[in-house]
Amino acid sequence: MGDESSVWGDGASAVAELSEVRRIYRMGSEEVHALDGVSFTIQRGEYWSVMGASGSGKSTLLNVLGCLDRPTSGVYRLAGEDVNRLDDDALSEVRSRNLGFIFQSYNLIPQLDVLENIMVPLFYQEEPPEDGEERARSLAERMGLEDRLGHRPLELSGGQQQRVAIARALVNDPELILADEATGNLDSQTAEEILNLFDELWREGKTLVFVTHEPHVAERASHVLRMRDGRVHEVTTTHRERGGTV
C-alpha cells in the first residue's frame, strides 16, 4: 500500500483518522457498500489527492471527511474528535471551525457579494471571530479580488469565482481543506494558477485533500490515494517537497 509509516503516522499530529470506516446505503432491498472498511491517517501539513473511477467511493469519502455524511460503522476522528459521537448541532460547529470546502462548481451564494461570500463560514459559528471581516478582506486581497468586493458571483469569471471559494475555505483557518475537482471547470491557464495557490497553501503548512481524475493534478500532492470498489486500493507517496518538485 505504499509508505505504511506515513499512512499510520502518530496520532498527535493527525488531522483526520479513519479506522474501518464503512458507509452503506440501502437501495430498495439491496445494500450498496460505498465505503467498505476504509482506514488511513492524514497528518498535519500533508497534501493528499484522491483518485478513482466513478462509483469507486471517492465522493462518499470526501463527504465523510467533510462531516457531510456519517459513517455507518467504524471511527472517524477529526482533529482528535470522534465525529460519530457528536449530535447534529455539535457536528455543524465542528464543520464550521475545522473544515474548508472548495467545489468544482464554486457553490457561491448568488445574492451575496464577494466579501459576504468569503465570510459565510463565520456566520455559522456560535461565536464568530471579531476580526472576521478583516480576515475576509485580507484573503480577498491575497486572491487578487480587492477591487471586486462588492461584485456578485455572476459578475465574476470562473477563475475569480474559484478564488472567492478558496478565500471562503480559508477564512476560518481550518484544520483541513477539502477540494472536489476544484479545477474541473477552468481553462488550463486558470487551472494552473489555482493549483499554484494550492502549492502555496501547502508550503504554508495547510493540510489539503484534493479529489481529482487528472493524474497530473494528483501528482502535485505528497500522497496519492486510489479508491476501488469502496476500498483503499493503494496509497503512494510522490516524494514531492512542500510546494516544490520531486
> Mean per-residue pLDDT for 107-121?
96
Block residue for cell numbers 467498505: 36
| Segment 152-171 mean pLDDT | 96
Which is nearest to 139 in space by CA: 108, 121, 163? 163
Instruction: Please write the tens of the pLDDT for every residue from 182-195.
Output: 998 899 999 999 99
Q: What angle do CA 105, 106, 111 make, to 5 degrees?
A: 115
Tell which residue, 118, 82, 121, 84, has the closest CA to residue 99. Answer: 121
207-223 confidence digits (pLDDT tens):
999 999 999 999 999 99
Phi, psi dihedrals of residue 102, rounded to the nearest 5°:
-135, 125
Other C-beta atoms lying within 10 Å of the C-beta of residue 133: 16
Rounded to an integer, what distance in angstroms lies between the CA atom of residue 243 and that of residue 234? 23
What CATH number matches the domain at 45-70+87-237, 3.40.50.300, 3.40.190.10, 3.40.50.2300, 3.30.70.2740?
Answer: 3.40.50.300
Give the pairing of strands 81-82 and 231-237: unpaired
CB 110 within 8 A of CB 154: yes
- Please give the grid coordinates belonging to residue 75: 471511527
Q: Cell numbers at residue 16, please?
A: 483526520
40-62 pLDDT, tens per residue? 999 999 999 999 999 999 999 99
What pLDDT shows up at residue 223?
96
Sequence ranges of the domains in the chain:
45-70+87-237
Check: CB of residue 198 under 8 Å from CB of residue 208. yes
Binned at pLDDT 50, 70 and 90, residue 12 comes out as: low
